[in-house]
A and B are shown apart, each in its own frame.
Chain A
Amino acid sequence: MSLSRRQVIVAIPAATLAVALPKSPSIAQDGRKIVTFWFGQANSDGQAALRRDLVEPFNASQDKYLLQLEIKGAAVNNLLKVALVAGSGPDIVQTAGPAYLTAIANAGQVLPLDGFAETYKWKERFLPALLNTGVYGGKLYALPRDYESMHLFYNKDVFSQNGWKLPANRAEFEQVADAALAKGIIPFGAGNADWKGVNEWLVTVFFNNVAGPDNVRKALSGELPWTAPPFVEAVELSKAWYNKGYFGKNYFSLTIEQSFLQVVNGKAAMALNGTWSFGTKSYGMSKPDTAMDVAPIPGLSAAVPGSLHHLACGATLSIAKSSQNPEGAAAVFEFMLTRQFYQEMNRDWPGKWALPVKDLPPEMLKGIGYPMFEKTITAMHDAFDKGQYGYTTWTFWPGATNGYLIEGIEQVWLNRVTPDAYLSRIQTLFAQELKEGKVPPLPQRAS
């Protein structure tokens, strides 16, 4: 087939117009409207849980919509941005937390959910502290898929064999850590060989548990510079602990799993890790005979007298602006709020879909056979509900600042830059991003 010049000239704008025209919703063979959902990383167990607990029961629950799930892997965040700009993204936009959502929401690539929130009473059902992380300019753009917090995981057998009691403050922490080192036990099992984000888990703990959540909040609001003395103390303490060997000799060589298993196997005493650890089966924490136990992390300075939970949202759920089936996407969200889904998903993949909904946990978790997970979620839910929490870097810090926070702390620990220089650079980057409106929204404190 040969095309004349005139045909080519006509074809180009026609093709452009075809791309620009609104798409009609995809229809399945049985006539149902298709709802597309891209998911990031999930191993075979996770994929099976997603199919068994979400896709199949949702599709069986009604005859209007058909949910299609695609596992996109680790690059999903980058794929998503490109697809949204091109208008070809999925109906359901899942991001890796408010820090990722900010740019997408500011660019208007996702729809406001206020209408659906009104219909389904979402604003009354979610914990405000978590729901407010999806509010931009007074409009709700995302629902929180889960809540997370840093915790102190420890081997209770190691503690009892050595006559140690669970530390309740910095002095006791250092006492236990020094005693562990003297016995050849690693105080904290930690490693970032497979995920640099481990650095920010630790920085989150030091910022909040040393400087205190009020100072962190002030700094995130731009009322206090990151170079203020409480943050200097926090970074200096992290450096002192690293240099004393509290995180072991192989922090940069061990993976997360290897380092946590050191605690499970008694080679290390404790781990500062997140609630997502409950979902890793190799740790065996759901077994009745596990040596592991967990507690909130105690304050590490006079500014933080008690233990602290750290507010984190590991993923957000929105509806793409280009979605031709927003009602279907909202119906999927509503399905996720059913008791059946909540129970089954948390049984099969603990912590991954811990929806911060008022009327579901914690009593819903009873009977899933995971006491440690149940008690942690219960305490976390209570703390977040009462407004007693610190702030996690991966939820509340803007991208460039958080990027340097993660990488730069290694420079501090390895004596490449001073704590002052590190915080000064953080302040410079943060001030710029605050000016550009890139800082994720802070939830209002409960009165």
Chain B
Amino acid sequence: MQTVEKTYETLLVDEVKPGIVTVTLNRPDRYNAMTNTMFREMEQLAWDLDTEDELRVVILTGADKAFCSGYDLADAEELPHLGALGMLDQQERAARALAALRSMRVPLIAAVNGAAAGGGFSLALAADIRVAGPGAKFNAAFVKIGLSAGDLGVSWLLTRLVGPARASEICFTGRMVGAAEAAELGLVNQVADDAVAGALAIAEQIVTNSPGGVQLSKRALQANLETGSYAAAIELENRGQALLTRSSDMPEALAAFKEKRPPVFQGD
């Protein structure tokens, strides 16, 4: 996979198993805090990964102890001096990176190995699936620095994941949510002894399924969160299912089932 060969200043990218790529935020001395370089690299990497037809799952994690401590406060001091529209540019630069990661064709699993705070919390929420390590902790720290939790998709994603009342509590208090509570709330799918190993176990199950089926499942889940009616959501589903019956993977799956062998998907 060509994309994996490139090097980045703030990210480590590795194909750990065929079709499974890990992206590690790599500023451990700053608890993997986000910088403009990181936002640019994230967006470019997401674009590049999305061209890779062999890619099936991306796992996102942090180097060393933290997942991501949010926007680097060393840079945050400059934010009030940017000017109102300069700040809007800054905000859009960050939002672009998270949107590019979230909208990749393949599932994105966040392996939350440690603290996910502020923008790091937003980043974890942008994934399709979250696996927490025992040391994972989450907070919407925004209100602690004079900003709101309307940041990088938190107000949209958190509400949908845990409901409006829990989202309100987490956002208005800015308190820490530990791994066990996060699992109870459904904020993470599971707590594993090792977040990356847990994410990898899920990824390995995903890659046994048809690439087209997984892709259109992801697209349907995301798009139908935003679709205005049940009928419109079903229309979108119907088109996808009808389309997938035209791919060679569905007959292959049925043949494999009859012949009691694992299917070999082409993803075409």
A and B held together in a complex? no
Residues of B near any A CB (own CB < 8 A)? none
